[in-house]
Chains A and B, each alone.
Chain A
Amino acid sequence: MEAEVIKAELVLTTHMSFKRIQMYEKYPKGQSKVRWKQLKQILQAENCQNYSPDEPNYVNIESPPSMQPCKRICDITGFEAPYHDPRTNLRYANADVFKLVRSLPNEYVQRYLALRKAAVVLR
């Protein structure tokens, strides 16, 4: 491994002194065949319905929706946006931004909405 690559901290070192069995011994072919479990899988495996609702567990302690009024900022510029375009469902700050909003092609409109998770998802 070249010195620059090690210094750049882009790749893991091949030999780690604290391990008893090194990575290259476990997976000789090169690519590590480890498949880490996704969070969803772990949560499903845990089967939280069986636990009593009193005891805190991972799913239990999730935070509730916000009590404060929703902050409305313009989707494009980021300023305070009191206005809302009924056709495209975007929020905009003033007339210039509105012109921009109206002239956007549909793809961009959907992407802006996707930032807010307000895009129309066709399944």
Chain B
Amino acid sequence: KDGLAICPGFTTTHVIPFVDGEPVYKGCCRTNIGGYHITDYLKQLLSLKYPHHMARFTWEKVEDLKMEHCYIAADYALEAQLFQKGGKEAEDKTRCWQLPWVPLPTEEPPSEEEIARKAAIRERQGQRLREMAEAKRSSRINELENQLHGLEFLLQQLGQVQEEDIPSFLSETGYASRQEIELTLTKVTQSLRKAKGEPKPEQAENEEKADSCTSDKYPLINVPDNMLTPDQLKEKKRQIFLKTTTEGRQRAKQKRVEEELEQERKTQQDEERRLENPQLYLEQMHTKYKELYEKIELRKRLKTNGGHTNGSNSGGVGRGERLNAAQRERMRLLTTAAFDRGKGEDTFGAKDEDWQLYKLMGKDNDDDDDGADEDEAELARVSSRLQDIDPTFVPKLEPTASQPTITEVPHVRPLTKEDFQIVLGVERFRCPEILFHPNLAGIDQVGLDEMTGVSIRRLPSKDKALENRLTSSVFMTGGCSLFPGINERLEAGIRMLRPCGSPIKVARALDPVLDAWRGASLYAANSRFHQQTFSRADYYEKGEDWLRRYQVQYTL
């Protein structure tokens, strides 16, 4: 006869006490939280956690998820701790939704026929290229040989012709002197030999010959200065210059060869070390990588003075530059230089030493950059090495582009099945919790269990016995009462508010979703319904704001 009707609905939750079958309107209580808010909360949470699959989380789908998987925990804090520990019970309570996913078609290792076919094609192409090269070479050889013959013939003729006739004879052919002809002859023979493809020692011989030629060509170097004419002095200077440059070039080449040998040796050593003890080597590489990475990070951070922070200090980069140690140094140098002079007159720049200042400042900056480049090159080498030998290694992305894993799937490895799984763990009981704690959703009102307290407080008559009677028959209806665990939770909640030992009993309707409709239909089907309506004539006469109060009575 007396009781509390609690209806967590779609957009609101009502608590209505009724005494003697009649609802006590004064004691009603309404909170604006319902199934809609729960679904919305769940939808937002999932979208934020899995932004890639946002399109999957339609309202209807999320509502289905909610109805199927959500439950109300008997004690939120305990459940949360359980999940935080991550033990087996938490695993059991976690549900996983696998989205349809098609694995990328992996490229099959090409079958034997494929390989053979590709090899044949390559062979044919190579053959074609080789033929072309051959043809070109043979034509060039022919040309050179012709030239050679021509030159030799010319020399012979020159030998036969008289001394006086040489200039006139030569002017016809286009060569200036005998030496020139001989020079061109040697050059042509050399290129002919190269074109014929004689082995390398021959070339080295040529180089040596070239060297001896050069020492012959610099005859004036060894002659002391005072014995030469000014023209010859100039000539000597030029020869010295040429000699030093060629020697320098040779030395550079030698150094390069040595460095390469050194590198080879080092990589060999590395390989040996790796084969000996792969695990240790791997760890060493990892630590080295980490150190280098941190060094670079630190330097970058110093440069911009923490300008990477979340974009929230917009002037951060500018401020960072001003406060940088190197920049401070520059400012100091400049200001001291400016104030070093006497008062009033600014004579900075009059002396040459003043400009050395800029060199100092410039050097500070350059050192930084050079060091950074070296480190970065080293880092790149180490990371590529790690990638080769360690299948699980993922190079850390650039800090400017770094995003947390919730917003970006690392593209280094192909997407796996796990990426397409939606895990519902904590969300299962976090979302319906807002029925009992609307603060979690930002709505500043009482939750379900406190609402009963409020409702009882609002009753016009304060009667202990009445209150006990009310709490001993609490009736749950409305769509949201279908959450498993809500009965126990509500009971525990009411017990917290009531004095110790008061009777509490919570019952749920058989069909909470359609309960209200059924009640209204029964009410309308009742024979006495006609007495509780008013006719159209009344409406026309008395206007639309006129209300008539009826006694809505609930009979068992």
CA A104 to CA B81, docked complex, whole Å: 25
Query: For the complex, what is the distance from the CA of A79 to the CA of B404, rounded to whole Å?
Result: 20
Most chain B beta-carbon neighbours within 10 Å: one of A55, A66, A76, A108: A66
Q: B residues within 8 A CB of A65? A: 444-446
Is B442 interfacial (CB-CB < 8 Å)? yes
Evaluate contact between B26 and A56: CB separation under 8 angstroms.
yes
- A-contact 0/1 string along B440-477, CB 8 Å cutoff: 11111111001100100000000000000000000000
CB of B298 closer than 8 Å to a CB of A: no
Q: Does A106 lie within 8 Å of B311, measured CB to CB?
A: yes
6 new A-B contacts, CB < 8 A, other than A62-B30, A73-B80, A116-B442, are: A61-B25, A63-B29, A73-B76, A79-B84, A87-B312, A111-B44
Instruction: Decide yes or no whether A83 CB sits under 8 A from chain B.
Output: no
In the assembly, what is the distance between CA of A62 and CA of B84, in Å?
A: 36
B41 at the interface (CB under 8 A from A): yes
| Chain A residues within an 8 Å CB radius of B34 | none
B: contact size bracket? 35 or more
Q: What are some 8 contacts across the A-B interface (CB < 8 A)?
A: A61-B30, A70-B439, A73-B76, A73-B440, A80-B81, A103-B402, A104-B406, A115-B441
Closest CB in chain B relative to A58 CB, distance in Å: 8
Q: How far is the CA of A65 from the CA of B439 in the complex (A)?
A: 9
**Residue A105 interfacial (CB < 8 Å):** yes
The residue that A63 contacts in the complex, of B48, B311, B446, with Cβ under 8 A, is B446
Contacts of A70 in B (CB 8 A): 439
A116 to B298, CA, bound (A): 36
Smallest beta-carbon distance B292→chain A, Å? 22
A63-B451, A67-B450 known; A112 and B442 CB under 8 Å? no
Evaluate contact between B450 and A104: CB separation under 8 angstroms. Answer: no
| Residue pair B404, A64 in contact (C-beta under 8 Å) | no
**In the complex, B330 has a CB within 8 A of chain A:** no
Residues of A within 8 A of B29 (CB): 61-63
Whether, in the assembled complex, A102 has its beta carbon less than 8 Å from a beta carbon of chain B, the answer is yes
Q: What's the Cα separation between A105 and B427 when bound, in Å?
A: 22
Say yes or no for A123: interface residue by CB 8 A criterion.
no
Measured in the bound complex, the distance between the Cα atoms of B402 and A78 in whole Å is: 25
**Selected contact of B443 from candidates A88, A100, A117, CB within 8 Å:** A117
Minimal Cβ-Cβ distance residue in A for B80: A79
> In the complex, A104 Cα to B310 Cα: how many Å?
8
A-B pair count, CB < 8 Å, reads: 102
B233: min CB distance to chain A, Å: 72
Distance, CA A91 to CA B37, complexed state (A): 21
Asked whether A115 lies within 8 Å of B437 as measured between CB atoms, the reply is no
- A71 at the binding interface (Cβ < 8 Å): yes
Contacts of A64 in B (CB 8 A): 445-446, 454
Residues of B close to A87: CB separation below 8 A = 310, 312
Q: DSSP class of A's interface residues: helix, strand, loop or mixed?
A: loop
Q: How far is the CA of A63 from the CA of B81 in the complex (A)?
A: 31
Q: In the assembled complex, which residues on chain B have CB atoms less than 8 Å from the CB atom of A108?
A: 48, 406-407
Q: Check: B487 CB closer than 8 A to any chain A CB.
A: no
A118 within 8 Å of B (CB atoms): yes
Q: Are A115 and B80 in contact (CB under 8 A)?
A: no
B interface residues with partner A (beta carbon < 8 Å): 25-26, 28-32, 41, 44-45, 48, 76-77, 80-81, 83-84, 310-312, 402-404, 406-407, 426-427, 430, 437-447, 450-451, 454
In the complex the two chains form, what is the Cα distance from A56 to B27 in whole Å? 9
**Given A63-B454, A66-B447, A106-B311, CB of A115 within 8 Å of CB of B407:** no
Given contacts A64-B454, A79-B84, A80-B81, contact A103 B437 (CB under 8 A): no
**Bound-state Cα–Cα, A37 to B44, Å:** 28
Report A's interface with B, CB cutoff 8 A: 55-56, 61-68, 70-71, 73, 76-80, 87-88, 93, 99-100, 102-106, 108, 111-112, 114-118
> Contacts of A55 on B, CB cut-off 8 Å?
25
B26, B28, B31, B48, most chain A CB atoms within 10 A: B48
What CA separation (Å) do A87 and B310 show in the bound complex? 10
Give the CA-CA distance A117 to B444 in the complex, in Å.
10
Whether the pair B445, A100 counts as a contact (CB closer than 8 A) is no
* Docked complex Cα distance between A12 and B544 (Å): 31
The answer to whether B442 touches A117 (Cβ under 8 A) is: yes
- Decide: B406 and A100 in contact? CB cutoff 8 A: yes
A8 to chain B, nearest CB (A): 12
**With A63-B445, A70-B439, A106-B311 given, is the CB distance from A79 to B426 under 8 Å?**
yes
Decide: B442 and A115 in contact? CB cutoff 8 A.
yes
The answer to whether A118 touches B442 (Cβ under 8 A) is yes
Are the CB atoms of B404 and A104 closer together than 8 Å?
Answer: yes
Q: Are B440 and A71 in contact (CB under 8 A)?
A: yes
Assembled-state Cα–Cα distance A6/B84 (Å): 45
C-alpha gap A17/B486 in the complex (Å): 38
What are the 6 tightest A-B residue pairs by CB atom distance, in nearest-first order?
A: A117-B442, A78-B426, A103-B404, A56-B25, A61-B28, A78-B430
| Best-buried of A79, A87, A88 by chain B (most CB within 10 Å) | A79
Contacts of B430 in A (CB 8 A): 73, 78
Q: Give the residue name and chain of the A residue nearest to B428 (CB).
A: A78
Q: CA of A105 to CA of B51 in the docked complex: distance in angstroms? A: 13
A61-B28, A79-B84, A103-B404 known; A66 vs B41 contact (CB < 8 Å): no
- Indicate which residue in B25, B310, B403, B439 contacts A66 across the interface (CB closer than 8 Å): B439
Question: Smallest distance from the beta carbon of A82 to chain B beta carbons, Å?
Answer: 12
Cβ–Cβ contact B446 & A93, under 8 A:
no
- Are the C-beta atoms of B440 and A116 separated by less than 8 Å? yes
In the complex, which residue of chain A has the Cβ closest to the Cβ of B451? A63
